[in-house]
Amino acid sequence: MAEHGEWNQKGATLSDVTAGKEFGVSREYIAKRLGSAHLTSEKTKAELRKINREIASLKKQLTTLQARKAEIENARTGK
């Protein structure tokens, strides 16, 4: 079973599969209680967070590569 502290970490989520196994909560129970739109909204938010993290990572990688490219080009041209 997951430690309680894990769910307090930024970006931590509890999937419907995990909720079902650990707490006996089903997707249908959540849909009845909060509405199916809630499930879709939460899934979309989680996907958006994942995409934003990936974009940030790629931007950082691009900045590093551009800096290295500039170093190489400057060394080649003797600047």
pLDDT in tens, the chain (79 residues): 445 555 556 656 666 677 777 777 777 777 777 777 877 888 899 999 999 999 999 999 999 999 999 999 999 987 6
What residues does each domain of the chain span?
Answer: 9-77
Q: What is the pTM of this model?
A: 0.56
Q: Which string of b and e fits 35-72 if b means at least 16 CB within 10 Å?
A: eeeeeeeeeeeeeeeeeeeeeeeeeeeeeeeeeeeeee
pLDDT for the residue numbered 34: 77
Query: Closest Cα partner for 26 from 12, 34, 50?
Result: 34
According to the model, what pLDDT value does residue 1 have?
Answer: 45
Nearest-10 Cα torsion for 63, 64, 67, 73: -120
